[in-house]
């Protein structure tokens, strides 16, 4: 029988390195001096396998190649056999980058043709990487343009309305993304509830970990964006606030896949923040779930936690989602949990998944920035060298192998001054986006490590993909391989080579043999029709 071949359009990524900047005043030297090479028109491909590779030394950046199946019995030092009949239970939902109003602002400063080309390269399934999962703030985040806000800053839900910053910046960009890929899914997260719903933390708004476990008894309004607790008397109103936000977004044509109840609930110091210990979230989800169900929004997932693997070191907050699952009523409404990696290890998910494998797991935030070792030597530093391989290992392969459904990183596009960012204390002024754009021309871009990580995962693993059982033979240290079966019967392979040597592989089933050489310190994605 003749084996069918597949057409897979490609992408050429930029051939430039990205340099980290400091907080010094802009001297004109922070602008990337090597623009991305324009992506040529896709070539017609008739070969069996398409491969993409990104190396830590920046020599290959999402570089595409094609080749034919090998002959049965091909030999290699390392062999991987796979069986598409043995699949993991958890399907992949997707991968992508957060779209903040700061990212939207930068995108809208671009020439429309340039913006379309970049968005197609990022989100299109036919012309680009096909990223399909994004995160947006419910209200402002630390990457907003003007001031902190929610959609109901004046007391009373009759005052609920779309904020102008979202209407003027976020919505137009989301509409362009959906025109390119209508299957994109959104995870929404608030940085704070409206101030009129807040009260001060017991014992004062401090980092005192002992105060995180004290119930709220004084509901005196706390007029601050930073810290505070949710008033128990406002649970119903806040649940309705979520309902109204979801309904408004979906009326605009945006698919809300999931919401979290609070970004970083154990961090009282963010420019916009709300302390929500697991005790509060357990009670609130029992109000939010029924409210969403009553409004016909039961298909929107409610995710717990949305914070670090180490629970930010807060005493009494370990096993945050497991504590909530232990309550039968809360368990019923909680669909899963969301995680960040600013503290702790991805191995924390071992316990989370083992205890409740039926509950979903998502990775929802990680950033790159000047806290990463070596940034001070900005002329020699680039995020590919330092981040692309270890981050792919942790936030993609590490999460997926522990029941994860997808990963979203922070955030899509910032300018060469790392902004725009909130003027308020607690905002991140040293973060870099997945892409850096030159604020002098809003045309020249540099793709950073997180864009490549998301692109590699997205191009090989489509929504609905399931991990296959594989058998490896004596793989050397530093090598990780995962294989997936997509719903269109294509095989997607993710490879992470953190070793100092290039490695030869043979992937073999009863039907096909695929030979591939992966460079040293690189990540790679392979795709073929099974």
Q: Is the dihedral of CA 69, 39, 182, 97 positive or negative?
A: positive
The reported pTM is: 0.89
Distance CA 174, CA 191 (A): 20
Query: Taking 50 as the threshold, does the pLDDT of residue 346 lie above it?
Result: yes
The residue that leads in pLDDT, 213 or 75, is: 213
φ, ψ of residue 236 to 5 degrees: the values are -65, -45
Q: How many CB atoms lie within 10 A of CB 204?
A: 9
The residue that leads in pLDDT, 429 or 489, is: 489
Distance CA 176, CA 502 (A): 40
Query: Taking 60 as the threshold, does the pLDDT of residue 247 lie above it?
Result: yes
Note the pLDDT of residue 261. Answer: 98
φ, ψ of residue 289 to 5 degrees: the values are -55, -55
CATH number of 49-89+466-529: 2.60.40.1180
Note the pLDDT of residue 421. Answer: 86
Note the pLDDT of residue 510. Answer: 85
C-alpha separations of 326 from 43, 252, 306, 317, 392 in Å: 54, 37, 18, 14, 32
Q: Say which CATH architecture domain 93-367+410-429 belongs to.
A: Alpha-Beta Barrel (3.20)
The residue that leads in pLDDT, 333 or 212, is: 333
φ, ψ of residue 449 to 5 degrees: the values are -55, -40
Query: Taking 50 as the threshold, does the pLDDT of residue 35 lie above it?
Result: no
Note the pLDDT of residue 382. Answer: 61
Going by C-beta distance under 8 Å and a sequence separation of 6 or more, which residues neighbour residue 241? 150, 151, 152, 157, 160, 193, 194
422 band by pLDDT with thresholds 50, 70 and 90: confident
Note the pLDDT of residue 74. Answer: 64
Query: Taking 70 as the threshold, does the pLDDT of residue 139 lie above it?
Result: yes
Q: Is the dihedral of CA 93, 96, 98, 99 positive or negative?
A: negative
Note the pLDDT of residue 373. Answer: 59
Q: pLDDT tens digits for 478-517? A: 899 999 999 999 999 999 999 999 998 899 988 899 999 9
pLDDT average, residue stretch 348-358: 98
Domain definitions of the chain by residue range: 49-89+466-529, 93-367+410-429
The residue that leads in pLDDT, 320 or 428, is: 320
Query: Taking 90 as the threshold, does the pLDDT of residue 476 lie above it?
Result: no
- Range from 6-15, 169-178, 384-393 carrying the lowest mean pLDDT: 6-15
Query: Taking 80 as the threshold, does the pLDDT of residue 314 lie above it?
Result: yes
How large is the greatest C-alpha to C-alpha distance in the chain, in angstroms? Answer: 75
Residues 68 and 48: beta-carbon distance below 8 Å:
yes
Residues 458 and 94: beta-carbon distance below 8 Å:
yes
What residues pair up with 188 in beta bridges, in sequence order?
136, 259
Residues 181 and 133: beta-carbon distance below 8 Å:
no
Note the pLDDT of residue 79. Answer: 85
418 band by pLDDT with thresholds 50, 70 and 90: confident
pLDDT average, residue stretch 108-127: 98
Query: Taking 60 as the threshold, does the pLDDT of residue 93 lie above it?
Result: yes
pLDDT average, residue stretch 326-330: 98
> For residue 269, with 0-12 CB atoms within 10 Å meaning exposed, 13-18 middle and 19 or more buried, which class applies?
middle
Note the pLDDT of residue 381. Answer: 44
Query: Taking 50 as the threshold, does the pLDDT of residue 377 lie above it?
Result: no
Note the pLDDT of residue 77. Answer: 72
What is the overall mean pLDDT for the chain? 89
Query: Taking 80 as the threshold, does the pLDDT of residue 450 lie above it?
Result: yes
30 band by pLDDT with thresholds 50, 70 and 90: very low
3 band by pLDDT with thresholds 50, 70 and 90: very low
- Range from 16-30, 193-207, 328-342, 511-525 carrying the lowest mean pLDDT: 16-30
33 band by pLDDT with thresholds 50, 70 and 90: very low
Residues 78 and 505: beta-carbon distance below 8 Å:
yes
Note the pLDDT of residue 18. Answer: 33
Note the pLDDT of residue 120. Answer: 98
Note the pLDDT of residue 45. Answer: 46
Q: pLDDT tens digits for 199-212? A: 998 876 666 767 78
pLDDT average, residue stretch 368-372: 79
Note the pLDDT of residue 205. Answer: 66
SS3 per-residue string spanning 38-49 = CCCCCCCCCCCE
Distance CA 460, CA 104 (A): 27
Nearest partner of 214 among 324, 316, 304, judged by Cα = 316
Query: Taking 80 as the threshold, does the pLDDT of residue 115 lie above it?
Result: yes
- Range from 7-11, 154-158, 216-220 carrying the lowest mean pLDDT: 7-11
């Amino acid at each position: 029988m003749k084996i069918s071949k597949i057409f897979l359009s490609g992408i050429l990524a930029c051939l430039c390195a990205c340099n980290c900047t400091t907080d010094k005043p802009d001297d004109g030297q922070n602008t990337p001096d090597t623009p991305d090479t324009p992506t040529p028109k896709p070539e017609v491909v008739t070969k069996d396998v398409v491969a993409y590779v990104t190396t830590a030394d920046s020599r290959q950046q999402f570089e595409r190649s094609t080749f034919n199946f090998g002959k049965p019995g091909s030999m290699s030092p390392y062999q991987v056999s796979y069986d598409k009949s043995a699949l993991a239970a958890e399907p992949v939902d997707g991968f992508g980058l957060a779209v903040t109003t700061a990212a939207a602002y930068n995108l809208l400063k671009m020439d429309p043709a340039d913006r379309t080309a970049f968005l197609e390269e990022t989100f299109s399934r036919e012309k680009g990487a096909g990223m399909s999962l994004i995160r947006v703030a419910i209200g402002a985040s630390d990457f907003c343009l003007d001031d902190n806000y929610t959609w109901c800053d004046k007391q009373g839900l009759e005052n609920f309305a779309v904020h102008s910053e979202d209407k003027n910046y976020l919505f137009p960009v989301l509409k362009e993304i959906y025109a390119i890929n209508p299957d994109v899914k959104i995870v929404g997260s608030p940085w704070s509830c409206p101030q009129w719903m807040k009260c001060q933390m017991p014992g004062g708004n401090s980092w005192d970990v002992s105060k995180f476990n004290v119930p709220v008894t004084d509901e005196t309004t706390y007029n601050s964006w930073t810290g505070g607790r949710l008033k128990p008397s406002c649970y119903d109103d806040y649940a309705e606030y979520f309902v109204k936000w979801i309904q408004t977004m979906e009326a605009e044509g945006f698919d809300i896949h999931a919401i979290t109840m609070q970004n970083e609930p154990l961090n009282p110091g963010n420019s916009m923040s709300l302390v929500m210990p697991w005790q509060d979230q357990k009670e609130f989800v029992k109000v939010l779930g029924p409210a969403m169900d009553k409004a016909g929004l039961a298909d929107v997932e409610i995710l717990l936690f949305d914070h670090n693997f180490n629970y930010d070191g807060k005493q009494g907050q370990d096993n945050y989602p497991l504590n909530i699952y232990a309550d039968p009523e809360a368990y019923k409404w909680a669909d899963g949990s969301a995680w960040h990696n600013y503290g702790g290890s991805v191995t924390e998910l071992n316990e989370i998944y083992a205890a409740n494998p039926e509950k979903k797991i998502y990775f929802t935030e990680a950033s790159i920035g000047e806290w990463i070792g070596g940034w001070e030597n900005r002329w020699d530093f680039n995020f590919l060298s330092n981040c692309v391989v270890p981050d792919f290992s942790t936030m993609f392969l590490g999460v997926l192998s522990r029941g994860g459904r997808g990963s979203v990183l922070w955030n899509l596009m910032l300018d060469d001054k790392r902004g725009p960012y909130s003027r308020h204390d607690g905002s991140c002024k040293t973060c870099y986006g997945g892409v850096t754009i030159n604020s002098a021309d809003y045309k020249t871009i540099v793709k950073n490590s997180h864009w490549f990580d998301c692109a590699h995962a997205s191009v090989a693993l489509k929504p609905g993909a399931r991990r296959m059982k594989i058998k490896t033979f004596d793989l050397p240290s530093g090598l990780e391989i995962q294989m997936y079966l997509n719903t269109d019967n294509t095989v997607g392979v993710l490879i992470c080579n953190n070793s100092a040597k290039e490695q030869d592989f043979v992937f073999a089933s009863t039907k096909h043999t695929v030979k591939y050489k992966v460079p040293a310190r690189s990540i790679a994605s392979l795709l073929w029709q099974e």
